[in-house]
Amino acid sequence: MNHIEQFEKIIEQQKARVEAMKAGDDFVDYKSLDKIIIGIIGGDGIGPAITAHAHKVLASLLDEEVKAGKVEFRTIDGLTIENRSAVGKAIPDDVLEEIKQCHVLLKGPTTTPRAGDKWGNVESANVAMRKALDLFANVRPVQIPEKGIDWTFFRENTECLYALGSQGVDIDDDLSIDFRVITTPGTERIARLAFEHAKNNGKNRVTIVTKANIVKKTDGKFLNVCKEVAKDYPDIEVDDWYIDIMTAKLVDEKRRKDFQVMILPNLYGDILTDEAAEFQGGVGTAGSANIGKRYAMFEAVHGSAPRMVEEGRDKYADPCSVIRAGAMLLSHIGYQEQADKLYAALDECTVTEKKLVITGRDDGATGDEFADYILSKID
């Protein structure tokens, strides 16, 4: 295939994607469901231990709903590196089927082998899940109350430079070209999610981050579509910033407190959320959400910590990040009161009271003890 044909093929693929998005479902209305099915995926390494603690906390908060048949928890065991490696798939087919029977998922970290590992070349389960479930929004809250920071980043997860990252072309030895894709429906859906979040969480400012003055077509479209969506939210103030100055403003202690909700294309979102996470520090301080119209997946921000397991320290792993992800899940499916209780308990246990401390070793509390400590703060 010559370069022109390759470019034509990419255009056809992306046009088909646009049509599929246009024809796609609307966001699930959880209130309209008879029963919400929450899948609990242990994953690898410390994943099964910390996810079991989070499961216990969520099950306690939703006890009445489970008894009334409005909520069901389903444990999905098969998303392990052993199984994935045995079938040579990022997500084994039967496991994907189980996952697709759920509405939302709480997922433990999954190991992605490095080149030369005994597991062979198994692709990232996270990337595969984002694609298979069309989880187009990566939502990352960053809260540092003592510094007045309360940000939520909405990073688009299916487009931008990453979507076609492996489809660039070497025209000749001296010239290489990559492609970047931004679509109207792809931008519309993340913008809508961000503005709805702002509206439902009492936020009055949404910031759009691009480099639209230079990257005129793709960033220009992203900015314009976000501004179009903003018209449906007249009570929310909207501003737009360029990624370079935005990166600087996040370290500006006088100005950064003013930002609330941010919408970004994939690459800028990747960079800015890592910068923001660095201010927050600590593995227990954040959860992360991957949201689509039909499915949503919530997880810790850290990995599977294989060394902790090898050294027999998995019971001392900190479950707070995945429990925070559980609070995000509760809020997403409409159980805001339970989510607020859980956030308050987490803040009390990890910031204000700190009667137990997790160190990752036997001089600190176990994850199970910490989960009980959190539960003791919830009436």
Q: How far is the CB of 223 from ligand NAD (least distance, A)?
A: 30
Q: Which residues bind ligand NAD (CB under 6 A)?
A: 46, 50, 109-112, 126, 283, 299, 302-308, 317-318, 360
How many helical (H) and strand (E) elements, i.e. helices and strands, does the chain have? 15, 12
Report the first-to-last Cα separation within the chain, whole angstroms: 65
Q: Please tell me what DSSP assigns to residue 212.
A: T
Q: How far is the CB of 301 from ligand NAD (least distance, A)?
A: 7
* 106 and 288 Cβ atoms separated by less than 8 Å: no
Residue 194 or 358 having the CB closest to ligand NAD: 358
Q: How far is the CB of 201 from ligand NAD (least distance, A)?
A: 24
Report DSSP letters for 120-148, one per residue.
-SPPPHHHHHHHHTT--EEEEEEEEGGGT
Residue 302 or 332 having the CB closest to ligand NAD: 302
* 290 and 138 Cβ atoms separated by less than 8 Å: yes
Residue 46 or 135 having the CB closest to ligand NAD: 46
Q: How far is the CB of 341 from ligand NAD (least distance, A)?
A: 22
Q: 318 — alpha (psi -120 to 50), left (phi > 0) or beta?
A: beta
Residue 58 or 122 having the CB closest to ligand NAD: 122
Q: How far is the CB of 109 from ligand NAD (least distance, A)?
A: 4
Residue 122 or 229 having the CB closest to ligand NAD: 122
Question: Among residues 292, 333, 286, which one has the least CA distance to residue 58?
Answer: 333
User: How many CB atoms are closer than 10 A to CB 183?
Assistant: 22
Residue 240 or 372 having the CB closest to ligand NAD: 372
Q: How far is the CB of 221 from ligand NAD (least distance, A)?
A: 30
What residues have CB less than 8 Å from 260, skipping those under 6 apart?
150, 151, 152, 198, 203, 204, 205, 206, 207
Residue 198 or 346 having the CB closest to ligand NAD: 346
Residue 53 or 221 having the CB closest to ligand NAD: 53
Of all residues in this chain, which one has the CB nearest to ligand NAD in the complex? 303
Q: How far is the CB of 316 from ligand NAD (least distance, A)?
A: 7
Q: How far is the CB of 69 from ligand NAD (least distance, A)?
A: 31
Residues 225 and 289: their CA atoms lie apart, in Å, by 23
- Give, for 315, the enclosing helix (H) or strand (E): none
CA 136, 195, 301, 299 torsion-angle sign: negative
